[in-house]
Structure 1
């Protein structure tokens, strides 16, 4: 018995150590003092000092500066200036509380610990806090100079046993990412399917189901460990640099992402044509093929807003020409005329660029002479082999590289090119021995795409200040959204696994500020002809941020080159995308103003429901659409969970579903399951061939009436679709919709808000009120009785509001 007791005690000792570690930090760290200093708190310990700085009631930053080091104030992510907000400092026997109106930071003196709470709710605490250790040679990294495991610095936090984790950038591992150790090193994953641990857009940010975020403000390479050892730890690990993180909290998920994007920057509203359909493949090899493709879209009555040129625009071959960055005169003898002709048809031109200059390209010597390229240890351009040839890499961190690259873009814009496509920007191959103007390759690797997007955005601000740039890139960093990046999920396999990964990737990236993450519709890699897969991917694409089929051209990605039935189904999906322009463009406005993702996880709707924490099979498109993509071949039914806070209506049939239930629904070939929230206003428009012809002078306004909804609201944002910062300049209109139900009286109100530099148009509205189960006795528009049409079978009330320029319109319905 005695030996059994001793054995049990021995088995428990490691558990006791782990438990105590969760309560206290590094045992060698001793509290010394705490003082306020210019709007921040400095806490001195035996091995360094903490600097704690509030940015707002919901954002607090903590920096640890080890003894012997200086604080590094530079951040590549943060643009928010710390606010002069009220803080209190309360000293107790064994603790200090430093509080904003939202976040309370508690410093326990002995044993030393820092913890964070928001409005009385405990969020997270440092576990061991700052630590130093050697990387795991088997699975980790080596020092290129010493040939041994790299030294890493880390910050370790204690997790609750049941909290789910999200973040770490672009991955496909499941919505709840706890249990993984993620490499923070942007790296392309060619031809991935349903799983990918490492992709092109890593971000050092963790989000918790407890509704907080931890952003680690350091771009250097490393890891983000989401409790891979199953010891309730979250650890940020890096090769060096700042030991700075921000704790971000809020009352809702909308608040958390709003605070995070206030910290790191809001996404500018893209040009309206970005919400349209793109023609794109790898690639259009000559002018005749490009012209024929655009003309086929018009002839087939399929809307089109842009054509995108892959690398054949500057060379006849895939290899050996990268870096030419000028139109190949043989294949494109009149590029400027071609671009102008497309523009007359309402079609924008986008061209690919890469940051690699091959030594066989026409611009190699120019790049060398102008000191444009990354260097070796001796100060000479570092050239190396990769798939496309022997290459150098543009050093966009130095002024020569930035200026040289921007002049390329400026020249293209002057030719009429209106969209920038930046590919391979991880960078795809980036030798650790390369030196850049601001640091080594590993120090700047993760912000290469960030700086590239910045280069383009700031170039436009300088030389084309009234225009909104379109910047399609696949690599970035925390805050890159403020430069207008439109990220895509890389070279996904053309297979059902590739499609299955896409909702998760977009939902996760939207939670981290990158609201326009999307996929190559239909899949990119491998010559697979699967019409069902193609159709389902495009039907999903209606409800993802950017609608852009793209693929290797052995199997055409454009619907105009597919067989008739597939083309017809694709046409219907694309036409729906254009009908939804008023709603979708308003989502872009909300993203710009509030940081709200266009695609939102069910977690946003029901943050307290553990059932939806790992769900990506159904998601919200904006606030009012519920979408379940068809992700399995040959599927005839799909399981749909309807969030509990609302009733929901089938967008196609009008059938009503109660909230809080999971239902097996029958699938249709011509659309994926889509539902609308009871009480929602959905503004729609007539289909146009190009967004150039889009107008809100007439809108179809759908209201989803239900007896459970006492009041509803919605809006429509409009501007000219092209002017940079149109809203800030007062060049906009906002239509506000409101409903109120009292007994048998349903009143609907439309109010127009216009900026000082905008003229309200004369507008007619075709109002459709759904779920009206009996013939109304009376309808008044602006106080006057009107004739209306009630469709008994569809339960639809149709009311025409004649053209008017008045600011307010009212509809009163006696049910």
Structure 2
């Protein structure tokens, strides 16, 4: 134990109340495992290393209410804490050094410097200052506030879902999850806000506060970041790194990693608002099969429990008049490899057959008199499930258990902001035994809903992975398998353009599966087939492919004529053939937190990053090797774009382009059949044969595409495979193939081998190696034996068939 005296003068905001902030001084500090606790008569501050480069800070002033924290992955951290104090010190290489000016709490790679007077915390990584408090923590009677310094050129990716441009610096962002119906090219407040940011200076700052608040990113004061909330928890997490990929890895280690969804979640999902009968749903599936368009799942919106939009919410059972043999329908779809997903909402109308039982069970939020709070909203007179209380959870889950008994494969939670949440309603927080107002916990409602579904699904479905789609949550909701979407977007070109920014912003802060209603949700006066097509072509390279819309203009591509259907079918073919690559991105997200969609700056080296890259939403990386340029305006015949450094190849035509400043802007031709997709020189991208359903994919037949580039030298890709459905991957039941290329002028060595942590192959893999941009090699050898190859002079493609039995293969091209 280490002790010293520290003085902490109080710094109060204009409305802060003396006595609620720290007013006298520190008397002692004590190291406990990976934490440092600073104590004074006014309270304490704890600094906890979650990893070597992420620190959780919690100010606890006496007399100031503290709600539970929801940001950290407490299950994982509790397991780590079992190591004990000595184990934590050894794992993180922790040390505390005191001086006359304060002290330094260090992990070797990162450090928190505690300044005595005026008291403030500063955060360093590899000796470089990343972030420092300005006035630090301020406590008012009903407020929690923090102030940090901003460096002059710093750019901030912040606040979650909003359409403001990539750099949110200079904005004051409201922190309150709120639907923005029919938004287009700008939106300041949407369904999923995040109380924090990623900085171009390579740190993430996330506040563990669920209350209604604001995040001022230099709007009121140019170089000051000011967080304010009406209560909640006075805590935050800082993650630091020397790379953006390292940054997301540290942040998601602390806040939780996304479990791997079932592989069918990467397929085509039929969805609309909504399928009004069993007959209609069967007809839609039949049309997909008739046109031989791939399909993996179908989602039922609110008509599954009632014939009208209003008056039926909370029934949570099939409307047997319109779905007379619903369970058989679900089974029939499943026999085809098509999974069924049902919508639900947390609102239970007083006219519902379930309201009385919920009220008697104490399952709803309460009014000031302790009775079930009822109120009016669009769908009727209602109560709201208290998702925080044991009574609410125990009453709500059996409805989902019944769905699983029917064979339902996934859950869709809608309106979970909650869309209407009266400020004078109250919830009971089971974990802490506290009563909390709606405004104190509003932003974490969807998070706790997802947690309820995730934990119970895993408890009762031992051999399946949950699919949980929701439009609202909190920082860290990814650890409960949440798949968010970007709300009720209009069908306009500006709305399409906004989708890239929305997914990139969310992915940087952990929510890697954020996607849009493809084609646009809100019906327009007339159907714009070009807009629809461009949206779905973009959708082939976003995390979830799910056309969804109001049914005045049907969202399914099978109902828009042969020309549109053929082009969408081609886009789906791209997506399904990329399944081995895409599924590897899923694993990378699960294991490291790396987003599937990545801003251009995310993949560029430090020296190559320009200010323009930080602002770019015209293009993005899909995984490490594909650069996608969505077409977001009508009538486009060419796109001008400054490619990142290196050599690039058109994914569809093979045409070569030069990147970097020397190459200048490249003009990329565009037609209606494709959108521009560029492959990085040296890339290795495994493909699968075309398919109608992910159930056809085994991974035993692969086409490995490699884009030869002598200037790159060595490149590689580690292909990940498992059964795609069970949770056995968590016990190491998977296969990884290391695909490595070493290229030089007129020479190539290509190696295929099992990674060290892979299980043995259950069957030989039949591989076709396709070398793009290939020189006309004179000979190819495998283990000293010359092989026959096929070379096309016009396309500059070389093809070679191989059998891989698990033993390393090294091919030599000369």
Q: CA deviation at 1:490?
A: 0.6
The answer (yes or no) to whether the contact 1:151–1:239 under 8 Å persists in 2 is: yes
Bigger shift: residues 163-172 or 105-114: 105-114
Bigger shift: residues 273-282 or 358-367: 358-367
Q: 2:771 aligns with which of 754, 769, 772?
A: 769
Superimposed CA distance per residue, residues 466-521 of structure 1 (whole angstroms, 9 cap, x where no aligned partner): 21011111011111101101110010011111101100000010000000000000
2:465 counterpart residue number: 468
2:630 counterpart residue number: 629
The answer (yes or no) to whether the contact 2:65–2:231 under 8 Å persists in 1 is: no
Matches of 2:248 and 2:410 in 1, distance apart? 28
Matches within 5 A, 1:397-408: 397-408=388-399
2:190 counterpart residue number: 199
1:124 counterpart residue number: 131
With normalisation by structure 2, the TM-score equals: 0.91
Bigger shift: residues 674-683 or 735-744: 735-744
Q: 2:25 aligned with 1:51, yes or no? A: no
Q: 1:756 to 1:496 in 2, by over 3 A?
A: closer
Q: CA deviation at 1:96?
A: 2.3
Bigger shift: residues 398-407 or 549-558: 398-407
2:578 counterpart residue number: 580
Q: 2:729 aligns with which of 715, 727, 730?
A: 727
1:531 counterpart residue number: 529
Superimposed CA distance per residue, residues 37-69 of structure 1 (whole angstroms, 9 cap, x where no aligned partner): 313333457865432222221011222222545
Q: CA deviation at 1:151?
A: 4.1
Superimposed CA distance per residue, residues 716-750 of structure 1 (whole angstroms, 9 cap, x where no aligned partner): 211111001x2222321111101113554311011
Gaps of 5+ in 1: 1-16, 18-25, 134-149
Q: CA deviation at 1:381?
A: 1.1
SS in 2 for 1:296: helix
2:5 counterpart residue number: none
Bigger shift: residues 69-78 or 712-721: 69-78
2:782 counterpart residue number: 781
1:147 counterpart residue number: none
Q: 1:369 to 1:47 in 2, by over 3 A?
A: closer
Q: 2:448 aligned with 1:446, yes or no? A: no
SS in 2 for 1:712: strand
Bigger shift: residues 365-374 or 250-259: 365-374
Q: CA deviation at 1:314?
A: 0.7
Q: CA deviation at 1:365?
A: 1.9
SS in 2 for 1:303: coil
1:77 counterpart residue number: 72
Superimposed CA distance per residue, residues 317-362 of structure 1 (whole angstroms, 9 cap, x where no aligned partner): 1100111111111101100111111111111111111111111222
Matches of 2:136 and 2:356 in 1, distance apart? 50
With normalisation by structure 1, the TM-score equals: 0.91
SS in 2 for 1:237: strand
Matches within 5 A, 1:211-360: 211-360=202-351
2:433 counterpart residue number: none
The answer (yes or no) to whether the contact 1:374–1:434 under 8 Å persists in 2 is: yes
Matches of 2:39 and 2:453 in 1, distance apart? 43
The answer (yes or no) to whether the contact 1:30–1:109 under 8 Å persists in 2 is: no
Bigger shift: residues 330-339 or 367-376: 367-376
SS in 2 for 1:613: helix
2:749 counterpart residue number: 747
Bigger shift: residues 351-360 or 61-70: 61-70
Superimposed CA distance per residue, residues 613-653 of structure 1 (whole angstroms, 9 cap, x where no aligned partner): 11111111011100111111222222222112x32111112
Q: 1:718 to 1:68 in 2, by over 3 A?
A: same
The answer (yes or no) to whether the contact 2:272–2:548 under 8 Å persists in 1 is: yes
Superimposed CA distance per residue, residues 671-725 of structure 1 (whole angstroms, 9 cap, x where no aligned partner): 111011111110001111111111211111101111102101002211111001x
**Root-mean-square deviation over aligned CA pairs:** 2.0
Q: CA deviation at 1:71?
A: 7.1
Aligned residue-pair number:
770
Superimposed CA distance per residue, residues 65-117 of structure 1 (whole angstroms, 9 cap, x where no aligned partner): 22545877744534352643222223334342222112222223234332111
The answer (yes or no) to whether the contact 1:733–1:754 under 8 Å persists in 2 is: no
1:115 counterpart residue number: 122
SS in 2 for 1:728: helix
1:478 counterpart residue number: 475
Q: 1:186 aligns with which of 177, 190, 199?
A: 177
Q: 1:730 to 1:758 in 2, by over 3 A?
A: farther
Q: 2:513 aligned with 1:519, yes or no? A: no
SS in 2 for 1:642: coil
Q: 2:688 aligned with 1:685, yes or no? A: yes
Superimposed CA distance per residue, residues 190-242 of structure 1 (whole angstroms, 9 cap, x where no aligned partner): 11001111111111121110000111112122111111124211111111132
1:9 counterpart residue number: none
Matches of 1:746 and 1:210 in 2, distance apart? 39
SS in 2 for 1:37: strand
Q: 2:61 aligned with 1:66, yes or no? A: yes
1:106 counterpart residue number: 113
SS in 1 for 2:594: coil
Matches of 2:585 and 2:416 in 1, distance apart? 27
Matches of 1:435 and 1:637 in 2, distance apart? 55
Matches of 1:751 and 1:63 in 2, distance apart? 47
Matches of 1:446 and 1:459 in 2, distance apart? 22
Q: 1:36 aligns with which of 30, 35, 38?
A: 30
The answer (yes or no) to whether the contact 2:761–2:806 under 8 Å persists in 1 is: no
The answer (yes or no) to whether the contact 1:753–1:807 under 8 Å persists in 2 is: no
Matches of 1:363 and 1:379 in 2, distance apart? 20
Matches of 1:355 and 1:563 in 2, distance apart? 38
SS in 2 for 1:727: helix
Q: 1:786 to 1:411 in 2, by over 3 A?
A: same
Matches of 1:27 and 1:697 in 2, distance apart? 63
SS in 2 for 1:350: strand
Matches of 1:153 and 1:234 in 2, distance apart? 14
Q: 2:553 aligned with 1:559, yes or no? A: no
The answer (yes or no) to whether the contact 1:227–1:233 under 8 Å persists in 2 is: yes
Q: 1:746 to 1:331 in 2, by over 3 A?
A: same
SS in 2 for 1:417: coil
Matches of 2:359 and 2:104 in 1, distance apart? 57
Matches of 2:94 and 2:724 in 1, distance apart? 42
Bigger shift: residues 607-616 or 381-390: 607-616
Superimposed CA distance per residue, residues 411-470 of structure 1 (whole angstroms, 9 cap, x where no aligned partner): 111111111111101010011111111221112211110011111111111111221011
The answer (yes or no) to whether the contact 1:278–1:304 under 8 Å persists in 2 is: yes
The answer (yes or no) to whether the contact 2:59–2:234 under 8 Å persists in 1 is: yes
The answer (yes or no) to whether the contact 1:681–1:713 under 8 Å persists in 2 is: yes
The answer (yes or no) to whether the contact 1:174–1:504 under 8 Å persists in 2 is: yes
1:614 counterpart residue number: 615
2:14 counterpart residue number: none
Bigger shift: residues 93-102 or 537-546: 93-102
1:571 counterpart residue number: 569
The answer (yes or no) to whether the contact 1:450–1:477 under 8 Å persists in 2 is: yes
Q: CA deviation at 1:535?
A: 0.4
Matches of 2:784 and 2:441 in 1, distance apart? 64
SS in 2 for 1:64: strand
Matches of 2:311 and 2:529 in 1, distance apart? 34
SS in 2 for 1:603: helix
Q: 1:243 to 1:350 in 2, by over 3 A?
A: same
Q: 2:454 aligns with which of 442, 449, 457?
A: 457
Q: 1:555 to 1:772 in 2, by over 3 A?
A: same
1:7 counterpart residue number: none
Matches of 1:549 and 1:295 in 2, distance apart? 17
